[in-house]
Amino acid sequence: MNVRFWGVRGSIPTPEPSRLRYGGNTTCLEIGPGGAGEAIVIDCGSGIRALGEDLMRRGVTRIHILLTHFHWDHLQGLPSFAPLFQPGVEITFYAHRAAAEVRGLLETQMADPFFPVPFAEVGSRTEFRQIACGNAFRAGELGVEPFALNHPQGAVGFRVEGAGRVLVHASDHEQGVAEIDAGLIRAAQGADALVMDAQYTPEEYAGKVGWGHSHYGHAAQAAASAGVRRLLLFHHDPEHDDLFLDDMLAKAQQLFPNTWMAAERNAVELV
């Protein structure tokens, strides 16, 4: 199994030179390998535009999209996702809300006057499946178990298993609710990699309690408690440039040595 990051930023894209080494697009990642002609994707931030171009070049026609929640930074790239407009492409959306509600939310962001092409006219065949925390399902070749995260208006994380490897995705999440924190640790137990919200430093977090995000110390603590092999810090704050993220990474590695900073276009092999 591998994971490739197409967007790693939170809140809003940051196409500035000082932020491009780690990446300026909002959250989107691809988990592979899927089956032949198949892709598994988490979230539709602005990074999904480049992913869509890559999928078209690869001839992928079956796409599974796992949605963590519906905040703008996790949806804003979907109208620029080329496969969405291609006849012969099948896209299944998995989310923790009713299927009809999810379709309505996606239709809204492409409605007149926000976008020139209505969702109903996109060309691909779309399907919507409601998921529930604790109830495992399959997305193509991969097994997926969703679990609750602590975030305003709700969000879900995913434990993804395939080819004898485990990847856990936990963004957006704020540590501090005991039951939810325990659920994250259970989901991440023994995982090969944990991709986790680490938007803030501990000093920044002191002024942002309740905003729905964690700091790198929280992520390191979760990784150690769950016994994961590798921690990937994710959902970078738009105010943090590459040098700032370098410093955050060095400090996080003092807490959990096998820590890495998620970077756009980087592929991480889980071995």
**Amino acid identity at 76:** Q
Going by C-alpha positions, the residue among 33, 30, 59 that lies closest to residue 45 is: 30
Q: What is the pLDDT of residue 33?
A: 80
User: Average of pLDDT values for 236-253?
Assistant: 98
As to burial, measured by CB atoms within 10 angstroms (0-12 exposed, 13-18 middle, 19+ buried), residue 53 is middle
Mean pLDDT of the chain: 97
Cβ 40 vs Cβ 55: under 8 Å: no
Going by C-alpha positions, the residue among 21, 20, 27 that lies closest to residue 5 is: 27
C-alpha to C-alpha distances, 235 to 143, 178, 191, 243, nearest whole angstrom = 24, 22, 20, 16
Going by C-alpha positions, the residue among 47, 52, 23 that lies closest to residue 124 is: 52
pLDDT exceeds 90 at position 253: yes
Between CA 147 and CA 226 the distance in angstroms is 15
| Alpha-carbon dihedral 81, 162, 268, 250, rounded to 10 degrees | 110
Between CA 145 and CA 98 the distance in angstroms is 17
Q: What is the pLDDT of residue 36?
A: 76
SS3 153: coil
Give the helix ranges, DSSP H, for 112-189.
178-188
How is residue 261 written in tokens?
């900073």
Q: What is the pLDDT of residue 271?
A: 77
What pTM value is reported for the model? 0.97
User: pLDDT tens for residues 180-210?
Assistant: 999 999 999 999 999 999 999 999 999 999 9
Cβ 233 vs Cβ 196: under 8 Å: yes
User: pLDDT tens for residues 152-165?
Assistant: 999 999 999 999 99
User: Average of pLDDT values for 44-64?
Assistant: 97
Domains of the chain: 2-260 (3.60.15.10)
Q: What is the pLDDT of residue 238?
A: 97
Q: What is the pLDDT of residue 180?
A: 98
pLDDT exceeds 90 at position 99: yes
**Quick one: what percent of the chain has pLDDT higher than 70?**
99
**Quick one: what percent of the chain has pLDDT higher than 90?**
97
User: pLDDT tens for residues 24-47?
Assistant: 999 999 998 867 799 999 999 999
SS3 211: coil
User: pLDDT tens for residues 104-123?
Assistant: 999 999 999 999 999 999 99
pLDDT exceeds 90 at position 168: yes
Cβ 95 vs Cβ 130: under 8 Å: yes
Q: What count of other Cβ atoms lies within 10 Å of the Cβ of residue 213?
A: 25
pLDDT exceeds 90 at position 173: yes
**Amino acid identity at 270:** L
**Amino acid identity at 52:** G
